[in-house]
Structure 1
Amino acid sequence: MTAGHPLERLSAAEIDAARTLFQKNDLLSPTTRFATLALEEPAKGAVLAWRPGDPLDRRVRALLLDVATGAVRSAVVSVTRDEVDEVVDLDPAVDGQPPILLDEFISVDEIVKGDAAWRAAIERRGITDFDLVRPCPLSAGDFDIDGESGRRLLRVLSFVANRPEDHCWAHPIDGVVAYVDLIEQKVVQLIDHALLPIPQEEGNYDDPAFTGPPRETLKALEITQPDGASFQVDGDEVTWEGWRFRVGFDPREGLVLHQLSIQDRPLIYRASIAEMVVPYADPSPVRFWQNYFDAGEYLLGQQANSLVLGCDCLGEIYYFDAVLADGDGNPREINNAICLHEEDFGVLWKHSDLFTEAAETRRQRRLVISYWATVGNYDYGFFWYLYLDGTVEMEVKATGVVFTSSYAEGAEYATEIAPGLGAPYHQHLFSARLDMMLDGVGNAVDELDVRRVPVGEANPYGNAFTRTATRLTSESQGARSADNGVGRVWRISNPDKTNRLGQPVSYVLRPEGQPALLADESSSIARRATFATKHLWVTRYDADERYPAGNHVNQHPGGAGLPQFVADDESIDGEDIVVWHTFGSTHFPRVEDWPVMPVDRCGFSLKPAGFFDRNPTLDVPASTAKHCH
């Protein structure tokens, strides 16, 4: 059970030991479930000071929910010392609810189908075979609705299948929604707003009768590395072409990169997607509440797929398995949860010189670290890319099935994607937490904007333009919006370290600059997902500040996370800082997104800007591939 590093992923033995420790200290009853159980990471300073051979204290934090009473407590135990370090009772009305358990999703089917009013509402829509109805339990949010405070709720929309193998997303039972109390195990409110037609056309993308026969014109495309991969893996540590990092996996955040460095120079201490929110735009009585925090409410890591060679990943692949705790606190393994491989990425640099007649080309390559999570109807792929030239990228690939509704002619908040079938407008907004450590822990951020220079004595022909740099000195100044109109980027530097030209070493965060949260600033979702109202936040490092919307997002009334983190307005100039970047897409669904959606991409990049003294890829050799002459 002995770990070899403070950030090593939890083992099955450690999860078992933690559960035993909770049990023998009377922290578990027959109705207690583990909403989460994860490694309690040591503070940054302790990890950086640790050396191989030093003692380790392996601690585990669990969020415990009594499903009979609704009581919630957070507890931290040490599996090294066999001791309980902390137990805190939480008030769900104030602190928020634990994430939703898999068992609770499953229980909703029986709860709603046993409710007479719900059954009557479904029968009014011409449906009598309840076995083919698919209730879809969804997080409830917080809307100051009378009687909901402190109650553990799901809101349930429903779909119907024509037969067991028919995909129900094609047939929404619109106009009716059930509010379910998970502790009382009953429907506490039914909204029966409108009788709307149920779309009839099927959308079975996996049925040749619907799709037609597979095309036969695509020839085989093989990715081979006859000499093997260029990366090395030692436990959780990966090295590749000057890069070094540790792989982590968290039940809430999913894939985490720890202690990312290049050429033995630290770059990012910890990188993760710390939250994502999917707010919908339909204000109708049955849909106004639709907004989902897929990390804080549904636990992205717990929804990870087992990846399949040749389908999810191509090439010379190394897989990491993930070991997580289930609702009973027992370890469960997700085989092939994380994929590690190399990809050719076209031309790295090239020049054919007019004077010397030299012609040189080098090919770019990147290391890919990825995983996929399925959250209800959507599938998300999270891809970290490391490039030969020192660039870091994060890309999210969204696919799966769009959430559907009935479509009425002239609908203002949805696209008609099939006859009578609508897909409501929505956003996918992600928060990347980048605990920066650029050549050390003292970092700073400048906002760089393009500036036009008006015609004048210094610019008589009007061709001049330049750039302005504004240092962000405090946390209140660090909340910023992207602006593609001025080419806005954010430069992260170490003021105490310089390159050979005397410039502070730096990287530039390049945002895509797509819209941030579009909901009104007075809305419930703006209170709960304030992080998504800005593209950038910069905070002073605090080990307890992990999640941009707060620790307990589910049904939280709002104001937690980043708004609290920046309230003391600490200095961020040359300090140990965390950069939080909001990115994502605003999805107006297309007809082509049905019945299964081609991958839609969003992300950001971090590019070296004076971090190196010159192009760091001059030593990349010319290609030796057989087809390169």
Structure 2
Amino acid sequence: MTLETRTAHPLDPLGAGEIEAAADIARRECPPGAAVRFVSIDLREPPKAEVLGGAVADRQASIVLHLRDERAVVQAIVSLTRDAVVSWRRRTDAQAPLTVGELLQCEQTVKTDERWQEAMRRRGIEDFALAMVDPWPTGYNGEDDAPERGRTLRPLTWMRRFEGDNGYARPVEGLVVRFDLDAMRVVEVSDHGITPLPQRDGNYSEDAISRPENFPHFPDGPRRDVRPLEIVQPEGPSFELDGHALRWQKWSLRVGFTYREGLVLHTVGYEDQGRTRPIVYRASLGEMFVPYGDPSPTHYRKNVFDLGEFGLGIWTNSLRNGCDCLGEIRYLDATINDEDGRAVGIENAICIHEEDAGLAWKHTDFRTGRVESRRMRRLVISSIVTVGNYEYCYYWHLYQDGSIEYEVKLSGVISDGAITPGEVPANGALAAPGVYGPHHQHFFGVRLDMMLDGPGNSVYEMDSVPVPRGEANPHGNAWEVRATLLARESEAQRVADARKARYWKILNPSQRNALGQPVGYRLHPGDGVLPMYDAEAHAIKRARFAEKHLWVTAYDPDELYPTGDFPNQHPGGGGLPEYAAKDRPLEDADVVVWHTFCAHHVVRPEDWPVMPMTRVGFTLKPDGFFDGNPALDLPAPHH
């Protein structure tokens, strides 16, 4: 088979022709006439040593298939170079991620079910076409949900008044469906009591805001005093994009994209004294875990693994300048697969641009009045994903001082519930009349395959602590920073501690700076909230990664996800707990650093009807990696 395209670099994502060729190879291995769904088709990344050595010989694809008639999942690796199947693992103990086709068919089928229709009629609803049925994952709450028992969903319902209406303004509280995805039929409809549908609209378009009856606190409609803000780079941006290779202000990297993770960064390095020094080999979001803290029948099953149960690729937005990004923009398209193994393009899936980031450094000599200051820029590499009601905006920021920042912004519409007027929710907060937002959390698990000046790295926990009063601290004012080596995986499961200004330091013990110190980077943790679940709750057993802010594991190219390969309906124990149980040594080793941070959401009235952006994230900062301030050479501003 002749492929339509060949990539210029072994880490480039699969092209459209490669995706369809990989599907053809896998299809030949399937039983004749089998009902095959292609869940994901991605690049099987070559071994790290081959990529770094420039000797990659085989272009491969990693495929997840769902054999519907056999209720089986297949993990396959195929060689595009040799037109052959490399490995074929058939599993009946797992459930593949959910596909768009399944979700759409679920919604259509639920709305034709007589039991569901009767429950809607009890609420005075006759026009079922305007209902929104969101197919929530089943999760795992006991043996009935086990993957070998079948593939299921737990859809929830909302109601629109007209096409284009924000249906999330009217939750149909207490109505829960169990849906069999193997048979594509409703198994059970549970009605836990009728709560009146909220009456107020929740629309937020410019037209809706112009109507005082909807928003009396905006009597004049949209603001009219916002003047144009233009970001102009008359000579073009300072970065260069060549295919997926990106260079900017001494930074170099490759931008990737996968069906499950979405945006991925590869081979991130910084040019210093004439050579490019590696920092991170691969950086990606490995999982999002969104557990809800409301025990009511409609909400207690809400504990979603957005990457492992769906995948970010299918929900990735096509971005627009002036709306999603602003400035001198360059875009990268992405290509994923549909259920039939055909290539599907996402135009403008990744946005790349520069931003002014304030002062880089400044000092005024008060004796002479001389002022030296420089402004900082950052490079922004971003993508935006819509998962049902929520928007997740992902930003990798590279700074001229060698820092790396990962930021997630959350917006969209809360996953809400209806409440009888006059009642106060016990496990949520009122957002609008008759509408409440259940308490919930968003945990983000990021995987950082570190490579500071080479693969031999070590990780230390750094705590600032007072020195006991005595000979070493006669005045009671001394404190020190204590470093604790995380020498094995059993020791490298850690929790943040703001009282000790705790951070973690990644070092290369074999490489020294001008002061004779090992070169290093700090990981400054993000928000340190932990899950609010009971330790034995089913949901947290599936998301043990979220109970620690830091995990360090030995590099294994097959250990990519904090919750394992198939968290859908999985009872738990996979992913990081399984990886770390090997208790591999970590000192001066090829290590992967995993960081978990949280957006802890207690809903406010200001979150309605669409949420202002919430921001969470973390930072990697050089600590001894350079011999001084790497931003010292920034040009002086011209007035």
TM-score class, shorter-chain normalisation, is over 0.9
Corresponding residue SS for 1:257? strand
Does residue 369 (structure 1) correspond to residue 381 (structure 2)? The answer is yes
Matches within 5 A, 1:69-88: 69-88=70-89
Moved more, 68-77 or 593-602: 68-77
**Size of the alignment, in residue pairs?**
619
Cα distance in structure 1, aligned partners of 2:551 and 2:481: 22
Does residue 427 (structure 1) correspond to residue 441 (structure 2)? The answer is yes
Which of 2, 6, 10 is the equivalent residue of 2:6? 2
Corresponding residue SS for 2:477? coil
Corresponding residue SS for 2:425? coil
Corresponding residue SS for 1:584? strand
Cα distance in structure 1, aligned partners of 2:35 and 2:481: 61
Matches within 5 A, 1:262-273: 262-263=270-271, 264-273=276-285
- TM-score, with structure 2 as normaliser: 0.95
Q: CA deviation at 1:109?
A: 2.1
Partner deviation per Cα, 1:339-385 (whole Å, 9 max, x = no partner): 00110101000000123432111000000000000000000110000
- Asked if the contact 1:500–1:613 (Cα under 8 Å) also holds between the matched residues in 2, the reply is yes
Q: CA deviation at 1:70?
A: 2.4
- Asked if the contact 1:62–1:75 (Cα under 8 Å) also holds between the matched residues in 2, the reply is yes
Equivalence for 1:98: 96
- Asked if the contact 1:6–1:56 (Cα under 8 Å) also holds between the matched residues in 2, the reply is no
Gap change, CA 1:196 and 1:469, over 3 Å in 2: same
Equivalence for 1:202: 201
Q: CA deviation at 1:133?
A: 1.5
- Asked if the contact 1:5–1:56 (Cα under 8 Å) also holds between the matched residues in 2, the reply is no
Gap change, CA 1:385 and 1:343, over 3 Å in 2: same
- Asked if the contact 2:176–2:191 (Cα under 8 Å) also holds between the matched residues in 1, the reply is yes
Equivalence for 2:115: 117
Equivalence for 2:524: 510
- Asked if the contact 2:95–2:151 (Cα under 8 Å) also holds between the matched residues in 1, the reply is yes
Corresponding residue SS for 2:107? helix
Which of 228, 234, 240 is the equivalent residue of 1:220? 228
Does residue 418 (structure 1) correspond to residue 432 (structure 2)? The answer is yes
Corresponding residue SS for 2:494? coil
Equivalence for 1:467: 481
Q: CA deviation at 1:481?
A: 0.3
- TM-score, with structure 1 as normaliser: 0.96
Cα distance in structure 2, aligned partners of 1:61 and 1:148: 25
Cα distance in structure 1, aligned partners of 2:192 and 2:125: 17
Corresponding residue SS for 1:468? strand
Equivalence for 2:265: 257
Cα distance in structure 2, aligned partners of 1:82 and 1:562: 34
Matches within 5 A, 1:232-381: 232-263=240-271, 264-381=276-393
Partner deviation per Cα, 1:380-400 (whole Å, 9 max, x = no partner): 110000000000000000000
Aligned partner letter, 1:233:
L
Partner deviation per Cα, 1:235-278 (whole Å, 9 max, x = no partner): 11101111000010011001000000001000000000011110
RMSD of aligned Cα (Å): 1.4
Cα distance in structure 2, aligned partners of 1:270 and 1:27: 36
Cα distance in structure 2, aligned partners of 1:551 and 1:98: 9
Partner deviation per Cα, 1:515-547 (whole Å, 9 max, x = no partner): 122211111111111111100000000111111
Moved more, 10-19 or 537-546: 10-19
Cα distance in structure 1, aligned partners of 2:571 and 2:29: 32
- Asked if the contact 2:267–2:282 (Cα under 8 Å) also holds between the matched residues in 1, the reply is yes
Corresponding residue SS for 2:336? strand
Partner deviation per Cα, 1:137-180 (whole Å, 9 max, x = no partner): 11110111537552101101101111122111000000110010
Q: CA deviation at 1:55?
A: 5.3
Gap change, CA 1:147 and 1:250, over 3 Å in 2: closer
Structure 2 regions of 5+ residues with no counterpart? none
Gap change, CA 1:27 and 1:331, over 3 Å in 2: farther
Equivalence for 2:400: 388
Does residue 616 (structure 1) correspond to residue 615 (structure 2)? The answer is no
Equivalence for 2:64: 63
Cα distance in structure 2, aligned partners of 1:343 and 1:28: 54
Does residue 452 (structure 1) correspond to residue 466 (structure 2)? The answer is yes
Cα distance in structure 1, aligned partners of 2:51 and 2:451: 13
Gap change, CA 1:608 and 1:513, over 3 Å in 2: same
Which of 532, 539, 554 is the equivalent residue of 2:553? 539
Cα distance in structure 2, aligned partners of 1:523 and 1:199: 32
Matches within 5 A, 1:116-195: 116-146=114-144, 149-150=147-148, 151-195=150-194
Corresponding residue SS for 1:343? strand
Aligned partner letter, 1:432:
V
